[in-house]
Amino acid sequence: MLTLRPYQQAAIDAVYRYLREHDTNPCVVLPTASGKTPLLSTICRDAVQLWDGRVLILAHVKELLEQAVDKLKAVAPDLPVGIYSAGLKRRDTQHAVIVAGIQSVYKRACELDPFDLIIVDEAHCIATEGDGMYRQFLADAKTVNPNLRVIGLTATPYRMKSGMICGPDNILNEVCYEVGVRELIQDGFLCPLVTKAGRQKADTSELHIRGGEFVAGELEDLMDQDSLVESACAEIVEQTRDRNACLIFASGVRHGQHIASVLAEKHGIECGFVCGETPDGERAELLARFRGMPADGLFERSPLKYLCNVNVLTTGFDAPNVDCVALLRPTMSPGLYYQMVGRGFRLHPGKKDCLVLDYGGNVLRHGPVDQIEVRKQPGDGGGPAPVKECPECRALIAAGYATCPECGYEFEPEKKPKHDAEASDAGILSGQVAITDYDVSETYYSVHTKRGAAKFAPKTMRVDYCVGYHLFKSEWICLEHKGYARAKAFTWWRQRSPDPVPDTADRAVEIAAGGGLAETKSITVRAVTGDPYEQIVGYELGPKPEPLPAEALECYEEEEVPF
């Protein structure tokens, strides 16, 4: 007897309530790995055994069909279940419950006789307009039975081009139940995600977009450069030494084969590779080894820790032991981003969390996985305009500005796309804190005046720490301010100098430029996902310089600590 989790039972109750109270079609939104199949199976059992109905389950990949059949047998072993799928070599048509692949049945609604209920797994595959396979089949099935009801199940209730899948004129009309990723992680039903605190992301700014996604050939060329692949592979190996199963998403077949060969030749690591053209037998063996189990006795080889794929191991792929997901595939699709990351959500004995290594800027592009927002397409008049942050005054301004309207900072011209092959430091979950240590190669001091400020407004000393190639972390020391800001500046200065704290930013920069402050060897930066501003929270300093001679301090009088 299957015991449902509380949210699964709540979802079923919401579906039944909706069907009683409305004439339209509901959708249930549950995160990847939260268990949609037990919910689906329970609804099928009740529809047949309690209400004498007939049910069709539709999905688009055979793995989902197999999961549905297995779960139906566990929930209701006496339920007559048939399969209609070319991939599974079955053509059943007379059972009370039929599990079908949409590719096999979309022109055959009349051959399957009337259904009272159709459940669509991965319902975001239903196009909101046009003549797609789902729309064609459901329209024909509605003709056969005008009283047909449709239920959608999905983790991502939106499509990249058209937005939300539910609407008054769509096949699915309203979300009747939804539970979020963060809630299920907190309740112990999903595995927590963590991100490696890296420094750079792939620069896709000059890639062209076609049909709402990066042009495939350009994307693969960007990600498949020798130095970049080798650097990314080295970091993956380093970051996964204590991990059990690393699933890698590549940007194309050539790119994926390149990744597998570098791992083998440079690191002595076997990495499996699967794509759409991989023969079924080879694919089954690789997946079984990756899951750590034999495939029907076909092999006696060791488990496979690394598996790289192109466009095949997203929806429907179930490997609970995955505790690292490496995204070497930038995407404009929030749904694809979610599905890739979602491969790490499943619980598994001994698995405390799943590490996400994002080399494609996906987290920064789409936001934390538990707060994905669907934006309207550019040019439709909706959604926020693209923005960028001024490195001088930190104002958020329109991306098209060459000069910051707030402070006059001149942006450098856009460069060719590059990728430093280090994972992004953006948190994968909202509110996630990333603490990163950076070695400092140079420190620069300057006087900063806010644009448009009054003539005698306080100035600040801006400190820029060079922590990488064209990578800086900055802070502002408020020596001319009062209260808490001045107190912080006082403490900051006394940690670096034996001399009195200057009253002006100009004098502070003069002293700093003359070698009057201790060298900053490294800094610690705190970043919180969803907060656009980072905070420097720690320093490793060299020794303080010798105090200035007494005659140089005649004009200074040490003040009390300004608290």
pLDDT in tens, 40-88: 889 999 999 999 999 998 888 777 788 778 878 877 788 888 888 877 7
pLDDT of residue 563: 47
**pLDDT band per the 50, 70, 90 thresholds, residue 397:** very low
Give per-residue pLDDT as tens, 458-517.
Answer: 889 999 898 865 567 889 999 998 888 888 899 999 999 998 899 899 999 989 988 899
276 and 301 fall within a common domain: yes
DSSP string covering 469-511: TTEEEEEEE-TT--THHHHHHHHHHHTT-SSPPPSSHHHHHHH
pLDDT of residue 394: 45
Share of the chain above pLDDT 90, in %: 35
For residues 320 and 251, the answer to whether their CB atoms sit within 8 Å is: no
234 and 156 fall within a common domain: no
pLDDT of residue 65: 81
Whose CA is closest to 172, among 28, 59, 43, 26? 26
Q: Is residue 379 part of a domain?
A: no
476 and 330 fall within a common domain: no
- Please write down the long-range contacts of 469-475, taking CB distance under 8 Å and 24 or more positions apart: 469/420, 471/199, 471/200, 472/391, 473/438, 473/523, 473/525, 473/534, 473/536, 474/391, 475/536
Choice among 72-76, 439-443, 518-522, 539-543 with the minimum mean pLDDT:
72-76
Q: Which domain holds residue 283?
A: 193-373+385-398
Domain count for the chain = 3
pLDDT of residue 431: 67
Indicate whether 121 pLDDT > 80: yes
The pair phi, psi for residue 482, each rounded to 5°, is: -125, 170
pLDDT of residue 380: 39
126 and 199 fall within a common domain: no
pLDDT of residue 344: 92
Q: Is residue 119 part of a domain?
A: yes
116 and 214 fall within a common domain: no
Pick the last residue of a domain from 179, 203, 237: 179
CB-based contacts of 118: which residues, under 8 Å, 6+ apart?
55, 56, 57, 58, 138, 141, 148, 149, 150, 151
210 and 323 fall within a common domain: yes
Q: What is the pTM of this model?
A: 0.67
317 and 457 fall within a common domain: no
Q: Which residue has the higher pLDDT, 301 or 164?
A: 164
